[in-house]
Structure 1
Amino acid sequence: MKSQDIRKQFLDFFQSKGHLIVPSAPIVLKDDPTLMFNNSGMAQFKEYFLGNGTPKSPRIADTQKCLRVSGKHNDLEDVGFDTYHHTMFEMLGNWSFGDYFKKEAINWAWQLLTEVYKIPKENLYVSVFEGNPAENVPFDQEAWDIWKELIDEDRIILGNKKDNFWEMGDQGPCGPCSEIHVDLRPEAEKALVSGKSLVNNDHPQVVEIWNNVFMEFNRKADGSLEKLPAQHVDTGMGFERLCMALQGKTSNYDTDVFTPLIEKLEEITGFKYTTNDVILNDSEESEEQNKTNIAIRVIVDHVRAVAFAIADGQLPSNTGAGYVIRRILRRAIRYGFTFLDTKEPFINKLVEVLANQMGEFFPEIKSQQQLVTNVIREEEASFLRTLEQGIFRIEGYIKSLELDNKLESVLEIKEINTDKVVSGEVVFELYDTFGFPKDLTALILKEKGYTFDEEGFEKAMFEQKTRSRAASETSTDDWTILVEGNTETFVGYDLLVNEVKITRYRKIDSKKDGKLYQIVLDHTPFYPEGGGQVGDKGILTSANETIEILDTKKENNLILHFTKNLPENVNATFIAQVDKNLRSDSASNHSATHLLHQALRTILGTHVEQKGSLVSPNYLRFDFSHFAKVTEQELHQVEMFVNERIQDQLPLIERRDIPFTQAVEEGAMALFGEKYGDSVRAIKFGESMELCGGIHVKNTADIWQFKIVSEGAVAAGIRRIEAITNKGVKEFYTSQEETLKEIKEALKNPQDSVKAVFSLQEENAKLKKQLEVLQKEKAKNLKGDLAKEIQEINGVKFLAKQVDLSAEGAKDLAYDLATLGNNVFLVLATAEENKPMLTCYISKELVAEKGLNAGQVVRELGKFIQGGGGGQPFFATAGGKDVSGIEKALEKAVDFIK
């Protein structure tokens, strides 16, 4: 059975049981600050489990794209080494929100597996929660009794809290679960060892395929459990593992979920993959093939994760979710580089196969195929350059280590490294700063006869993680509920001031922000951060006090207002007042963002799509797909286009709660990676119409003026424009006027400032040329004097001297002195404008025959002037901070040839 059919049968089955089939949410979460990625099937339904929203149907089924590479659920380091862990995977799920419970969930799971998919019952085992007296949670007798009617009791396993009690997090909904495991081993192996003994013991062919979670409890901040007002079902079945079971394979990678990608990778690299049913012996050839298999598994898994993340709007970057995506991709590149001999970008060539394979069910990967390909290709090229630089740095470090060993007794810098062990801190720096993997460093060092201090590396890694964890540590109290039920609404589209009551509040403590309170209001005018727009600020006032609202965010469908203090009387009636100036500036920038989007699509082409935005009171940032630099002329046209619509005084046409399909049919633009409900809000200014929940001006005239301040690349095929409007433009022009005034005053108020600047530049260029001539003459005059000071030591013509020249003059002098003959070793020092500089020249025959290296010389001597540098083996320079160290550096230079 093909994977597409397996997925369809699951959805068809639950549709026949009255479930609404919904699409997968984006893999990248934009409206849940507690999660970086969608890491489970239930993530998009959290608000329903928490009672903060009402689902479209009490019964829902779907297949959800999931990514587990950070936080509590992190499978990254397992991927490739076994045959069943993945970074990105599909989670087939059926959900009940206060509707059916254990009986239906268990019976339908059994029916689908054994009657529809026809998995032999004798291959299945199930587990039931054994209870936990310490937390006053009983044995799940109900689930046991249901399973007894379907399967022999000797196939039912009691599971502990780790395996059979599921929790959303440290706090929140949780409950016992009942897992279903399948035994895919050959019959001969089953006869020797019972599958029951292998459940939850990491056997690659005895794996969990389905988990039925029964949400019965709420975990409170103190760790205690309370019953939920309604019982829910949350189930998840690993699609890739199900395909393995139904296609008669013993590895997920041998199913048609992965085989098209593997075949393409074999074609690209020339390396062949060995399927799991081929038994490898313990020969050297087997060891090499196993490395190849691991590398191929890593690459075909990781390309799926990276491609879907980019298609959903998350570009690789150096921070947050973008850094995680970059790490995944770099892990794949590194495995190809090390084990498949790939020295050119190749992973991007797999995107077409992936799009053809999964595009029918996940259209985003097909529509964003070109962008995904380009971004991955550019990331590959960049990291391959980093790998080359890393290898160069490692080799340079080894050479300097060898030099240190030779010079230790004279320079007194460090102890001799007799064991040929590289510092773990150095290896960690390569890993942390340059993304250079530890095992690749170890491989290169091994080839050079070196090892590294593994304990030192792990210590540096632990310290970094500890710092990172400490910086992000947060503790959250339970909600104090003042008003029961979902009474909270947002009224901020129409009001900036409103009478409100607090419905709930809680305290949070974080290392970053200290103690804060989150307050929820019944009818809030405060806009929560979302759609790129920052959250509102303002105040809450009562008869006796004023509370400052520092920020507003949305979490699990609740609008949270952040404050430093809690009101003395939380039951009082308050006046909520949004900071109208900040709101007005944000609205101006947000509406300008829509006009900018329209301008770019009109001037550059309809291939332009929004890929990210930030709307703050101070400026707007807009990321968009485009495969070339935007020219000055095009930027001018874009600016003019937006300003013309501002001058046209286009009124805001806002439509709330219209059906999504109707809005799109009428021309509203929906953005990839955004999650839209059945009803949406459409914003229209003239011909610009977009689905948007943000705050906007009533008329484009309120924007006053639009000014682009920068344009540049973010990633391959992604450009970024930053711009200002209204108050920002006024401040910009004021600043420009002040700058021009200062320039005029500096030029003695000429009639034509531009002409005066050109004249000054010409005069400066002439003086610079004259200075260069003088410096060269000075260097020539010095050449004769210094030639007399050259000493011959061990057959080397040696000179170490401070000269009164510029750095460029010292370079010219060094090359002039080099013409005096062979075997020349020169170290010249300068101190122009009190900035010490060392210049080293070594004749090429000394480099070749005696192993001297100018780069290593200046790196060691540079320590005396509190600096460093480098260059080629025959010529290098080093700059520093301490002029007083020049004398010592020149004294020590002779030690290199003694």
Structure 2
Amino acid sequence: MKSQQIRQQFLDFFESKKHEIVPSAPLVLKNDPTLMFVNAGMNPFKEYFLGNSTPKNARIADSQKCLRVSGKHNDLEEVGVDTYHHTLFEMLGNWSFGDYFKKEAIAWAWELLTEVYKIDKDIIYVTIFEGDEQDGLDRDTEAYDFWKQHIAEDRILNGSKKDNFWEMGAQGPCGPCSEIHVDIRSAKEKALTPGASLVNQDHPQVVEIWNLVFMQFNRMADGSLKNLPQQHVDTGMGFERLAMVLQGVTSNYDTDVFKPLIREIETITQTKYGKTTETDVAIRVIADHVRAVSFSIADGQLPSNNGAGYVIRMILRRAVRYGFTYLDKKEPFIYQLVETLASQMGTAFPELKSQKNLITNVIKEEESSFLKTLENGLTLLDRMIDQLKSKKKDILDGAKAFELNDTYGFPKELTRLILSEQGFKMDEEGFNKALKKQQDTSRRASSQETSDWTIVQEDETQEFIGYDQLEAEVKITKYRKVQTQKDGDQYQLVFNMTPFYGESGGQTGDKGYLESPDGDTVYIVDTKKENGENLHITKNLPKQIEGFHKLIVDKGYRAKTSANHTATHLLHQGLRAVLGTHVEQKGSMVRSGYLRFDFSHFSKVSDSELKEVENFVNARIQEQIPLEENRSNTYENAVKDGAIALFGEKYGDVVRTIKFGRSHELCGGTHVANTSDIWHFKITNETAVASGIRRIEAITSDAVKDFFTEQSKRLEDIKKLLNAPNKSSEESIQQMMEENSALKKEIESLKREKAKSFKSELVNSAQNINGINFIAQKIDLDPKSIKDLAFEIDREMENLFMILGAENDGKATLSVILSKNLVKEKDLNAGQIVRELGKFIQGGGGGAPHFATAGGKNPSGITAALDAARGYIV
């Protein structure tokens, strides 16, 4: 059975059980700050489990993309080494929100596996929760009784809290679970060792394929458990493992999920899968990682230096490193796999096809960049090895190895491998110590302790009314305290309704204040969105909690933010009109003071194009286009009507569309009532974010007024400086530029004359030491002139060893040039020499064996460096 059939049969089966089939959510959930990536199938439905929202259908099924590379769920180190762990995987899941529970979940799982997929009943084992004394939980005899209706009792095994009690995190919904395992070993192996003894023992052929989670409890901040108002079912079946079982192979990588990628890697790298362990691991890593990176980029998460983007960059670099080290690929090649992946999985996940060009270009650019990093890292590591040799040591200091990894992105494994090849070792303990120190520092900076919610009003669902009003009489439904290292103590308040917009969709959250019935005022410094609720951030609680409070949004802040948000829509329209319809939004940040807009485009936007885009937006502002809004459209109808939906966004059943003339987008943010409210639009910067991604920064409204006022003031200041009342500023500046150019030519001429005088002096100072013309002098020239002079003397003098020192702006420089025959015959290296002599000036440097330079902060050490240079030839 092909993998596409396996996925479809799962969805068809649960559709027959009255489940709504929903598409996979993006890998990054924009409105859930507790998660870096979706790491389990239940993540997109957290708001339902928490009771913050009610699903349209109490039964849902899907195939959810998941990524496990950070936090509690981190399988990265196992990926490629074994045959069944992955970074990205599909989780086939069926869900019940307060509808069916253990009986139906167990019966349907058995029916699907044994009757639809025809898995042999004799290779199946199931586990149930054995109970936990600390939590006061008994054995899950209810699940046991349901299972024994289908499977022999000796195949129902007790499982520990670690394996059979599922928790969302330190807090939140949780409950006992029942795992389904299959034993696909040969008959001979089964006869030697019972399968029951290998369940949950990380055996590659006795693996868990499905986990049925029965959510009954809520884990509180103090560790206690409380019953949830409703009981839910959350199941997750590993698609890749299921394909392994149904396709009769013993490795996930032998299924048609991975085979096309592996064949393509073999072709590109001219290697063969199945020949050596090292090659096999490398191929598996690359096949796995290109999926994770491609799906992430398709969902809008680009590689970067922080957060989720850093993790994606790390995954890709891990793949590059395996190709570099074990497949001998020194040029970009992973990007070529995107075509195969899109062809293979584009039907089930159309974003791979629509975003194929972007994915390909981003990966290629990232590969090229990191391969340069690898080259730089190799150079640095070579220097460290030279120092080990000179000091007769055989272990590289762990702190230095960590610096290579942390500062230069050079993988620890590669450092260890290269050292080993040359007979050296790495100080593993020192590396781990440096790593732990950095992690502890980072953890302290981002540490946060959150208390349990204090419930004031039960069963209240928050309503957002901020599109229509900026003030409201509200009741506090719950609140909690948050202690952070960065911001100190804060409180998060939830109201039964709110006019405050919670940060989402790139738009900043509202600010404002709360007035209590007793006259107390509490300032709301920010508003965040989490699991469908707007959390109002304050520094302190109101003295009176119960009763009606008045919420008041900062109108000026909201107005400026709304103007910038509407401007992003007009900018998007303008970019598509000027550059082409290939332009797609790839991210945005809307603040009260400015806006930032990321979009797909494969070249720098020219000044004339930027001006055309700017004029386009301002023309729409001058047209005074009113807002057309639809808050109750369906996603399908909205897209059919021409509304632009953004990749990487999760849309609900009912969507809101925003229209200003021909600008038509799905959007939940706040906007101006008329484009004239924006006043004016000004682009302040255009730059690259990643390959194929450009970024525009711009301002509107009061910020534009301030910008023009500042520009006018600068012009007046320039006029005063020019002090030319009878000439225009342009004429005066042109005259100054011409005079400046003439002076530069005169200075260059003087420098050349000065260098000529130094040349004769240096040549005459040469000493013949052991057949080498040795010159060591401190001279008064800038670094460029010294280099020109050095090469000129080198062309005229044989067997030259010259070192020149200079002081410029309080800093010291050393320059070493060697005749090329000395480099070969005397085994001298200018780069190594200048690195050692650089210590005298408290600096460092390097370069080629023929010519190299060093810079330092101690000019008084120049003389000692010149004297020490003689030691290399005597």
TM over 0.5: yes
Who is 2:823 aligned against?
A: 847
Determine the C-alpha separation between the residues in 2 that align with 1:80 and 1:105: 33
Who is 1:643 aligned against?
A: 618
Who is 2:383 aligned against?
A: 396
Q: Would you say the 8 A contact 1:128–1:157 is kept in 2?
A: yes
Ranges in structure 2 where 5+ consecutive residues have no aligned partner: none
Determine the C-alpha separation between the residues in 1 that align with 2:178 and 2:384: 55
How far 1:184 sits from its partner (Å)? 0.4
Say which of 445, 450, 453 aligns to 1:476. Answer: 450
Q: Which amino acid aligns with 2:170?
A: D
Who is 2:804 aligned against?
A: 828
260-269 or 448-457: bigger deviation: 448-457
Q: Which amino acid aligns with 1:483?
A: Q
**Are 1:380 and 2:362 matched, yes or no?**
no
Q: Would you say the 8 A contact 1:866–1:882 is kept in 2?
A: yes
Q: Would you say the 8 A contact 2:53–2:461 is kept in 1?
A: no
Q: Which amino acid aligns with 1:319?
A: N
Partner of 2:92, secondary structure, is strand
How far 1:199 sits from its partner (Å)? 0.3
How far 1:817 sits from its partner (Å)? 4.1
Q: Which amino acid aligns with 1:724?
A: I
How far 1:819 sits from its partner (Å)? 5.3
Who is 2:508 aligned against?
A: 534
1:746-772 deviation line (CA, Å, top 9, x unaligned): 222452222222222222222222222
Who is 2:190 aligned against?
A: 190
How far 1:557 sits from its partner (Å)? 1.0
| Matching of residues 680-691 of structure 1 within 5 Å | 680-691=655-666
Say which of 683, 707, 710 aligns to 1:732. Answer: 707
| Matching of residues 577-588 of structure 1 within 5 Å | 577-588=552-563
Determine the C-alpha separation between the residues in 1 that align with 2:795 and 2:101: 91
Who is 1:147 aligned against?
A: 147
Partner of 2:432, secondary structure, is helix
How far 1:297 sits from its partner (Å)? 0.7
Q: Which amino acid aligns with 1:611?
A: K
Q: Which amino acid aligns with 1:682?
A: T
Determine the C-alpha separation between the residues in 2 that align with 1:892 and 1:707: 59
How far 1:563 sits from its partner (Å)? 1.0
Q: Would you say the 8 A contact 1:400–1:856 is kept in 2?
A: no
Q: Which amino acid aligns with 1:581?
A: G
Determine the C-alpha separation between the residues in 2 that align with 1:604 and 1:533: 25
How far 1:820 sits from its partner (Å)? 5.9
TM-score norm. by structure 1 comes to 0.95
1:679-737 deviation line (CA, Å, top 9, x unaligned): 11111111111111001011100111111111122112111111111111111111212
Aligned residues: 872
Determine the C-alpha separation between the residues in 1 that align with 2:771 and 2:175: 83
**Are 1:880 and 2:856 matched, yes or no?**
yes
Who is 2:425 aligned against?
A: 451
Who is 2:263 aligned against?
A: 263
Q: Would you say the 8 A contact 1:375–1:715 is kept in 2?
A: yes
Who is 1:410 aligned against?
A: none
How far 1:400 sits from its partner (Å)? 4.7
Who is 1:679 aligned against?
A: 654
Partner of 1:430, secondary structure, is helix
**Are 1:892 and 2:865 matched, yes or no?**
no
How far 1:166 sits from its partner (Å)? 0.4
Determine the C-alpha separation between the residues in 1 that align with 2:256 and 2:735: 71
How far 1:569 sits from its partner (Å)? 1.5
Q: Would you say the 8 A contact 2:29–2:650 is kept in 1?
A: no
Structure 1 residues 586 and 214, CA gap change in structure 2 (3 angstroms): same
Structure 1 residues 756 and 336, CA gap change in structure 2 (3 angstroms): same
Who is 1:442 aligned against?
A: 416
Who is 2:178 aligned against?
A: 178
| Matching of residues 737-756 of structure 1 within 5 Å | 737-750=712-725, 751-756=727-732
Partner of 2:134, secondary structure, is helix
Determine the C-alpha separation between the residues in 2 that align with 1:694 and 1:745: 46
**Are 1:294 and 2:281 matched, yes or no?**
yes
Say which of 461, 470, 473 aligns to 1:487. Answer: 461
**Are 1:699 and 2:687 matched, yes or no?**
no
Who is 1:419 aligned against?
A: 393
**Are 1:568 and 2:555 matched, yes or no?**
no
How far 1:572 sits from its partner (Å)? 4.2
Who is 1:412 aligned against?
A: none
Say which of 481, 497, 508 aligns to 1:523. Answer: 497
Partner of 1:492, secondary structure, is coil
104-113 or 655-664: bigger deviation: 655-664
| Matching of residues 767-782 of structure 1 within 5 Å | 767-782=743-758
Ranges in structure 1 where 5+ consecutive residues have no aligned partner: 275-285, 406-415
Q: Which amino acid aligns with 1:713?
A: A
Determine the C-alpha separation between the residues in 2 that align with 1:268 and 1:696: 50
Who is 1:630 aligned against?
A: 605
How far 1:889 sits from its partner (Å)? 2.6
**Are 1:546 and 2:533 matched, yes or no?**
no
Q: Would you say the 8 A contact 1:53–1:486 is kept in 2?
A: no
**Are 1:463 and 2:450 matched, yes or no?**
no
Q: Which amino acid aligns with 1:5?
A: Q
How far 1:401 sits from its partner (Å)? 4.5
Determine the C-alpha separation between the residues in 2 that align with 1:22 and 1:805: 72
Who is 2:479 aligned against?
A: 505
How far 1:778 sits from its partner (Å)? 2.1
**Are 1:330 and 2:317 matched, yes or no?**
yes
Who is 2:641 aligned against?
A: 666
Determine the C-alpha separation between the residues in 2 that align with 1:394 and 1:112: 55
Determine the C-alpha separation between the residues in 2 that align with 1:866 and 1:522: 64
Determine the C-alpha separation between the residues in 2 that align with 1:295 and 1:546: 61
Superposition misfits of 4+ residues, deviation over 4 angstroms: none
1:513-569 deviation line (CA, Å, top 9, x unaligned): 221111112221111011110111111122332211111111111110111111111
Q: Which amino acid aligns with 1:213?
A: V
Structure 1 residues 438 and 738, CA gap change in structure 2 (3 angstroms): same
**Are 1:86 and 2:91 matched, yes or no?**
no
Determine the C-alpha separation between the residues in 2 that align with 1:134 and 1:676: 41
Q: Which amino acid aligns with 2:594?
A: Y
1:820-842 deviation line (CA, Å, top 9, x unaligned): 63332222222233332222222
How far 1:231 sits from its partner (Å)? 0.6
12-21 or 463-472: bigger deviation: 463-472
Percent pairwise identity: 63
Determine the C-alpha separation between the residues in 2 that align with 1:46 and 1:197: 35
Q: Would you say the 8 A contact 1:172–1:218 is kept in 2?
A: yes
Determine the C-alpha separation between the residues in 1 that align with 2:751 and 2:130: 87
Determine the C-alpha separation between the residues in 1 that align with 2:680 and 2:704: 7
How far 1:222 sits from its partner (Å)? 0.6
Partner of 1:134, secondary structure, is coil
**Are 1:225 and 2:217 matched, yes or no?**
no
Q: Would you say the 8 A contact 2:460–2:477 is kept in 1?
A: no
Q: Would you say the 8 A contact 1:776–1:812 is kept in 2?
A: no
Determine the C-alpha separation between the residues in 1 that align with 2:692 and 2:810: 46
Q: Would you say the 8 A contact 1:711–1:720 is kept in 2?
A: yes
Q: Would you say the 8 A contact 2:388–2:395 is kept in 1?
A: no
Determine the C-alpha separation between the residues in 2 that align with 1:266 and 1:806: 53
Determine the C-alpha separation between the residues in 2 that align with 1:674 and 1:696: 19
| Matching of residues 746-825 of structure 1 within 5 Å | 746-750=721-725, 751-818=727-794, 821-825=797-801
Determine the C-alpha separation between the residues in 1 that align with 2:165 and 2:254: 31
Determine the C-alpha separation between the residues in 1 that align with 2:281 and 2:788: 54
How far 1:738 sits from its partner (Å)? 2.1
Who is 1:277 aligned against?
A: none
Who is 2:328 aligned against?
A: 341
1:626-681 deviation line (CA, Å, top 9, x unaligned): 12221222111111111000000001111111222222222211111111111111
Q: Would you say the 8 A contact 2:52–2:461 is kept in 1?
A: no
Who is 2:630 aligned against?
A: 655
| Matching of residues 34-73 of structure 1 within 5 Å | 34-73=34-73
Q: Would you say the 8 A contact 1:650–1:699 is kept in 2?
A: yes
Who is 1:283 aligned against?
A: none
